[in-house]
Each structure stands twice: as structure tokens, then as C-alpha cells.
């Protein structure tokens, strides 16, 4: 049983992953004992699907950890950040937003109980490209009266807490905010029964993936390459 699974959705960020393993993983080893970093790599051929990749980690380590972190590979916390935020306790009534979007979502780095992420059915599996999945996760959490506790946001730089590389990615970035707003508006118009139907229509309960490769690339880092 792990204390923490730090889940990183990944594709074509080899230099960032190398830096993360060299500089950030040792901090995890020192300050977050009994933790494991799980890098979920998506096979080429489709738009990137951050939500589904994180769902793979939630599924593979269901009932095997106390907490999950969602984490981007290009964000590197400092020792100060880990000591102040990463070690905070999280109960089943809230999710810890360590470094989240200024747009009020559950994107970026969050910490959540295993039982909680299973309860809200994880992310939708059908959001391909950049954005929206983080707002969908927040809507699911709010449906179950799970509160986000906000710490850092990406509105301003936090050099004492984080080093973030330029966000070069292979995901479709056009109309991100419009798509997110459209999704959120539609969800908020549903009644409670319809919201539950939508939550259960796509997520951990019907996730489909194939593991293509699984290997340890560091003492506490596992890479799982999948087709989704």
C-alpha cells in the first residue's frame, strides 16, 4: 500500500521527464516517503487525452494507495513547495488544489483521496485535445459536495515554489476556453439526475485501454505505455 501515487500523463516530453527524474523525484523520495511516480505514456496516432491517461493510473492503483496526485511533467516543485503543500492531509470532503488554473478548474497539480476519485468516476474518457477535462473533473467533485482547497494558481509566477518549463505540447489548443465554457454551461443546465447520468456515462467505470509496455525507469518511477 502506497501513501502517494504521483500520476503524470505523458507524450513526447523526454527532456522534461529526464529533468523531473533528476531534480524532482529525489525531493519526493526525501519528503514523501512510500510514494511512487507513475508516468502514463500515450501511444502516437490520436490527440492527447490527459483525462483518460490519468484514469489509467487511478485504475491500475485503485485500492493500492491513500492519495493520488495529478502532475504535469513540466512542473517541478521546490523543497519549500513540497514541505508546505504536498504533505498536507486530504480527507473525503475536499480535494487539494496545489497548483491549479486561474480559470477555476481542477487542472494542474491536485491531491485527492483514492476513494474520492473512484467515487466521482475519475475524468471523462472522451475529451481529446487540450482543456475541458479539468473543468469536468471539478463539476464531478462539486456534484458530490467535494470542495477544492486552493493554494497556488498559475495567474502569477511562483519561483520559490515551482519551476515550470514552456508548455510545448502536441495537443490541439484552438478554442480551449470556448470549449470549456460550453461544456460547463451545458453541465450546469442539467438537473441532478441528468448530471449523475453524465458523470457515469464516461469515466473509470468504462475505461478501455491496452498496456503496450510497463517498466521501471527509476527506483520509484514506473512508465506505463498505453493505447487508448
pLDDT-based confidence at 5, cuts 50/70/90?
very high
Residue for cell digits 500520476? 7
pTM of the predicted model as reported, rounded to 2 decimal places: 0.93
Confidence check: pLDDT of 115 > 70: yes
Confidence check: pLDDT of 57 > 50: yes
pLDDT for 135 equals 94
Share of the chain above pLDDT 90, in %: 80
pLDDT for 168 equals 54
More confident residue, 169 or 14: 14
Across 9-18, 22-31, 69-78, 97-106, least confident range: 97-106
The contacts of residue 133 (CB under 8 Å, 6+ apart) are: 49, 50, 51, 107, 123, 124, 127
pLDDT-based confidence at 146, cuts 50/70/90?
very high
pLDDT for 103 equals 79
Which DSSP string corresponds to the chain? -EEEEEEEEESS-HHHHHHIIIIIHHHHHHHS-SEEEEEEEEPTTS---HHHHHHHHHHHTTTSEEEEEE--TTEEE-HHHIIIIIT----TTEEEEEEE-TTTSS-SEEEEEHHHHHHTT-S-S---SSSSHHHHHHHHHHHTTPEEEEEEETTS--TTTEEE-----SS--TTHHHHHHHHHHHHHTS-HHHHHHHHHHSSGGG---EEEEEEEEETTEEEEEEE-
Confidence check: pLDDT of 47 > 60: yes
Confidence check: pLDDT of 178 > 70: no
pLDDT-based confidence at 185, cuts 50/70/90?
confident
Contact 222, 38 (CB under 8 A): yes
Mean pLDDT confidence for 44-71: 98
pLDDT-based confidence at 171, cuts 50/70/90?
very low
pLDDT for 101 equals 83
Mean pLDDT confidence for 71-98: 95
pLDDT for 174 equals 47
| Average pLDDT of every residue of the chain | 92
Mean pLDDT confidence for 6-11: 98
Amino acid at each position: 500500500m502506497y501513501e502517494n501515487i504521483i500520476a503524470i500523463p505523458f507524450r513526447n516530453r523526454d527532456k522534461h521527464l529526464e529533468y523531473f527524474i533528476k531534480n524532482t523525484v529525489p525531493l519526493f523520495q526525501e519528503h514523501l516517503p512510500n510514494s511512487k511516480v507513475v508516468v502514463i505514456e500515450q501511444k502516437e496516432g490520436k490527440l492527447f487525452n490527459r483525462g483518460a491517461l490519468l484514469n489509467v493510473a487511478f485504475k491500475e492503483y485503485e485500492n493500492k494507495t491513500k492519495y493520488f496526485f495529478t502532475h504535469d511533467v513540466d512542473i517541478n516543485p521546490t523543497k519549500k513547495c513540497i514541505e508546505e503543500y504536498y504533505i498536507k492531509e486530504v480527507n473525503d470532503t475536499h480535494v487539494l488544489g496545489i497548483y491549479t488554473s486561474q480559470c477555476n478548474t481542477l487542472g494542474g497539480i491536485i491531491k485527492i483521496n483514492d476513494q474520492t476519485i473512484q467515487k466521482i468516476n475519475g475524468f471523462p474518457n472522451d475529451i481529446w485535445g487540450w482543456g475541458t477535462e479539468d473543468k469536468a473533473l471539478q463539476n464531478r467533485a462539486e456534484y458530490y459536495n467535494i470542495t477544492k482547497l486552493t493554494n497556488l494558481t498559475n495567474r502569477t509566477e511562483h519561483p520559490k515554489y515551482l519551476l515550470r518549463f514552456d508548455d510545448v505540447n502536441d495537443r490541439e489548443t484552438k478554442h480551449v476556453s470556448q470549449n470549456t465554457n460550453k461544456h460547463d454551461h451545458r453541465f450546469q443546465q442539467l438537473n441532478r439526475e441528468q448530471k449523475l447520468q453524465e458523470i457515469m456515462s464516461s469515466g473509470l467505470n468504462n475505461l478501455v485501454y491496452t498496456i503496450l509496455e510497463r517498466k521501471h525507469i527509476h527506483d520509484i518511477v514506473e512508465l506505463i505505455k498505453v493505447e487508448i
